[in-house]
Structure 1
Amino acid sequence: MMSSDHSRRTMIKGIGIATAAGVLGTATAQAATAVPAEGEIWSNEYWAKKGDIPLWMFRKRIGAPKPGEPARPVVFFVHGSSVTARVFDLTVPGKGEYSLLNTFARYGFDCWTMDHENYGKSGRTSGNADIASGVEDLKAAVEVIAHETGQRRYHFVGESSGALRAGAFAMAAPERIDRLVFAAFTYKGEGSPTLAKRAEQLAYYRSHNMRKRDRDMIRSIATRDRPGTSDPAVVEVLADVEMQFGDQIPTGTYLDMTANLPVVHPEKVLAPVLLVRGEYDGIAAVPDIEEFFNKLPNGDRQFVILPGTAHSVALATNRELFWHVTRAFLTMPTPIVT
């Protein structure tokens, strides 16, 4: 369900490649500004390498890149536990825009995403694709972005365990981070009915690296908290797209979220942070997020609750509220007084 022009394919190895190192070493400190754009959306796919593991990446922006043009701010969308990067680029006929990549490309951003190890088009291994593995995926991905854009810092928008991946990466590589948006984030998991229910399967997650993910499981993402907050037709399209990759999905992030929280420590997240929670989210309890928010060291931080939404803000009927607060946060003017 993704529209793309795969005229060019790029394979770049993981950390420390010469071309990326050269870009990072010589790039000027030019601030990239998001300016609303009109025109055709250009897209391309890329491949990063994490050791021997190929990792699929996808990019959208208005117009193909041109030498010498002003830099556009890069925003990287990080997917969660039970879906691939397609969740950020759905085409749903007759239902309006459901592609975050399209939306933020029109806002003037250079939009990127990826399939993590054992998801979607990326390589399959015997691992469980936990949060730590996701951090290594992102380390490989930013080398591709550096090579392609000449930029060294990027915005990250993560949903659910994608927010945990983005947060853990921000701790590991703070020099790569511009601004962070954590949607459906969980800190310690306290007060979460969904995680309490999920923990009943903890022994299974410890002993199995993959779990069943059928159409009903995908539908439950939009119905388990508050039916009616997402359009069932949209979720069916998501299921159609996701099931092409099979009915198995890694257990690693489920294990982390039920047994190993916290995996993101607020005092180690130095960048500006926007925390976004759906009003009816069964994973991200308000006191849990408030505790995280209050411990963040950067004064440039916000916590927003979106009315009439549940866990998946990207697929919510009220998704434009998410677009609005995210765009506003990513385009905040630089403070004059600090």
Structure 2
Amino acid sequence: MTQSNDQLVNQPLGRRTLMKGAGLGLVAGSLSATLPAPSASAATEGGEIWSSEYWAKKGDVPLWMFRKRVGAPKAGEPSKPVLFFVHGSSVTSRCFDIHVKGGGEYSVMDEFARYGFDCWTMDHENYGKSGRTSGNSDIKSGVEDLKAALDVLSKETGRQKYHFLGESAGAIRAGAFAEVQPDRVDRLVLAAFTYKGDGAPTLVKRAEQLDYYRTHNMRKRDREMIRSIATRDKPGTSELAAVEALADAEMPFGDQVPTGTYLDMTSKMPQVDPKKVVVPTLVISGQYDGNSTVADLQDFYGQLPNGDRQLIILPGVAHSVVLATNRQLFWHATKAFLTMPTPIST
């Protein structure tokens, strides 16, 4: 028997409540809820992808920013919707702009630039090209980094509100930022997100090193550790060539990264209060993600106050949605969420 949209919306959300469509697993939420005006064309834009580097300042700490879009900005032209990518614990912002020789498109920045977005990212404090300090670059520090980026975004784009997409600990950073700066967030995508992390196998294993994270601000992050991001949950869900390309991009920045987000995720969760995330939100995760459970994500999703919300579980995907063999599913669901039409009735 076919259920109506109202029946689907009003019934409790069970673990196997599925709306099969476009190869996606779980899609939850009322599509009749209040939605913003469309912010980018669903069509793919042609033209050369232009890029540029920028610097933000958080006090005395320089923070490297990177931008990609189709065509260089021109005076007097309408601005494009901004999509800001937020990286996680063990990699820099390079994860959003990976190029795999002969492996097809892996740069999510290039892909969304072609969708019509003005794509931005940054290296957080103690990562990549950004400044080095004695801190451990925890979630709160990452929120301050994002605050520092706002002046650059406003100056360069002329906009005051932006879409944010974070992966893994980057999703926690983005969610925590949306709590304190909801007026600067248009739509929020939390990819590979962790709410409380109860029963998540990766976090249970990670917690065995909790004493180390408490007493050290940096940890080892070698090539093998980078490989494990795409293999630890479900080998075969990412192409090895893509993982090696990520390692090649990351290793020039050294084999040490901060411990702050690991400490937060193993001893200080939750870092994001869903009741305070008032912006339209997409929670999207892989079927085999070891950093969270479906129950954990459902708990978070159920407390979001904005009716404009979705929860999507991607089949055949593990923790890294960006590096997944099935990454096109992630692109499709995210683009659909970011380009929602204006509702006729609210």
If the length of structure 2 is used for normalisation, what is the TM-score? 0.88
Give 2:158's match in structure 1, choosing from 146, 150, 155: 150
**Would the aligned equivalents of 2:213 and 2:262 in 1 still touch at CA under 8 Å?**
yes
Superposition RMSD in Å: 1.0
Distance in 1 of aligned mates of 2:40 and 2:335 = 12
Corresponding residue for 2:183?
A: 175
- Number of the residue aligned with 2:32: none
**Aligned-pair CA distance for 1:37:** 1.4
C-alpha distance in 1 between matches for 2:56 and 2:316: 38
- Which among 65, 86, 106 is matched to residue 94 of structure 2? 86
Consecutive unaligned residues of structure 1, counting only runs of 5 or more, are: 1-29
Is 1:200 aligned to 2:208, yes or no?
Answer: yes
- Residue by residue, what CA displacement relative to the aligned partner does 1:75-114 show, whole Å, maximum 9, x if unpaired? 0000000000000001111000000110000000000000
User: 2:227 matched to which residue of 1?
Assistant: 219
Partner of 1:314: 322
After superposition, residues 1-338 of structure 1 pair within 5 angstroms as 32-34=39-41, 36-338=44-346
Aligned residues of 1:32 and 1:70 also touching (Cα < 8 A)? no
Indicate the percent of aligned positions where both proteins have the same amino acid.
Answer: 71
Deviation at 1:336, TM superposition (A): 2.2
Q: Is the 8 A contact 2:172 2:193 kept in 1?
A: yes
* 8 Å Cα contact 1:210/1:250 also seen in 2: yes
What is residue 30 of structure 2 aligned with on the other side? none
Q: 1:68 Cα shift?
A: 1.3
* Residue aligned with 2:166, SS: strand
Contact 1:33 1:71 in 2 (8 A): no
Q: Which has the higher contact order (CA 8 A, sep 6+)?
A: 2
Between the two proteins, the alignment pairs up a number of residues equal to 309
Q: For residues 342 and 160 of structure 2, what CA distance do their matches in structure 1 show? A: 18
Kindly provide the CA deviation profile for residues 37-86 of structure 1, in whole angstroms up to 9, marking residues without a partner as x.
Answer: 11000000000000000000000000000111112100000000000000
**CA shift at 1:36, angstroms?**
3.1
The amino acid across from 2:114 in the alignment is R
Task: Find runs of 4+ consecutive structure 1 residues off by over 4 angstroms.
Answer: none
Q: Is the 8 A contact 1:170 1:269 kept in 2?
A: yes
| Contact 2:38–2:338 (Cα < 8 Å) also in 1 | no
Cα distance in 2 for residues equivalent to 1:231 and 1:51: 40
CA contact (8 A) 1:55 1:114 kept: yes
The answer to whether the 8 A contact 2:54-2:64 is kept is: yes
1:184 maps to a residue whose letter is: A
TM-score by length of 1: 0.90
Give the whole-Å Cα distance in 2 for the aligned partners of 1:193 and 1:121.
32
* Alpha-carbon distance between aligned partners in 2 of 1:297 and 1:256, rounded to the nearest angstrom: 25
CA deviation after TM superposition for structure 1 residue 32, in Å = 4.7
* Structure 2 segments unaligned to the other structure (5+ residues): 1-36
